[in-house]
Amino acid sequence: MFNTGRGIRFADDALHPKKTMDCIVEKKNLLRSKILRLRNALSTRERQDKSRCIQTCLFRIPDIIEAQNIFIYVSFKSEVQTHEMIKALLLEGKNIIVPVTDMVNKRLMLSRISDFDADLKPGVMGILEPVREKMKTVSQDSVDIVIAPGVAFSREGWRIGYGGGFYDRFFRETPKRSYALAFELQIVSDLPYDPKYDVPVDCIVTEERVICCSKNES
């Protein structure tokens, strides 16, 4: 095993691919559990304050200002809160596109919304999603910018999600500039990843900084 500066890799990948994959999965699971514990420990007030800082920073980024069709996740539980961000972007006249989870095909479908409160209801895992009768399906090509969630991130943009691979598939199929929202506690120095399956984000916005991931590649 060795550290490339972009995460944990293994010298015997070609000789023992299954062993390597099992080890990566195990390390991801351990890191996911650790970061979720830390994120869940934030108080409601802390989460709100940090999320407001992230929103202020995000809304100053030229890519976000110039984008018209913005894909953005709808936050749940202890994630960086996006409900107020979405409402603010709608008021600015942006076209807001949110994910709809297709559990059968393990994919994200895309739907445009125009009214946060009227268009969204609890769906898979309690995440707010467009109600079926109000689905306004859009193509991936129409997306200008992607704003994504995650559990843990490296400064190089590698991410660990919840383990379903939904966003990695989405990133491959929608190669648009991607921003992840995270609390500073979610940024780690070493993050296990497999470039065959995992897709890094371009930038990460925290309550303290904007990380341009491509500049950190070794």
pLDDT of residue 1: 44
pLDDT of residue 133: 87
Please state the rounded mean pLDDT for residues 126-150.
Answer: 94
User: pTM of this prediction?
Assistant: 0.89
Q: Which residues pair with 55 in a beta bridge?
A: none
On the question of pLDDT at 8 being above 90, the answer is no
Q: Is 124 left (phi over 0), alpha (psi -120 to 50) or beta?
A: beta
Please state the rounded mean pLDDT for residues 25-34.
Answer: 97
pLDDT tens for each residue of 11-23: 444 445 566 778 9
pLDDT tens for each residue of 41-69: 999 999 999 999 999 999 999 999 999 99
Q: Which residues pair with 120 in a beta bridge?
A: 130
Burial of 2: CB neighbours in 10 Å, binned 0-12, 13-18, 19+:
exposed
Candidate from 14-23, 94-103, 128-137, 198-207 with smallest mean pLDDT: 14-23
Is there a domain that residue 187 lies in? yes
Whichever domain contains 16, its CATH number is 3.40.50.10420
Is there a domain that residue 1 lies in? no
On the question of pLDDT at 215 being above 70, the answer is no
In three-state secondary structure terms, 143 is: coil
**In the chain, how many domains are there?**
1
Is there a domain that residue 34 lies in? yes
DSSP 80: P
Q: Which structural domain, as residue segments, surrounds residue 51?
A: 11-216
Between CA 168 and CA 197 the distance in angstroms is 7
Is there a domain that residue 84 lies in? yes
Contact in structure between 117 and 90 (CB atoms under 8 Å): no
On the question of pLDDT at 134 being above 70, the answer is yes
Where residue 132 falls among pLDDT bands split at 50, 70, 90?
confident
Please state the rounded mean pLDDT for residues 149-165.
Answer: 96
Contact in structure between 110 and 97 (CB atoms under 8 Å): yes
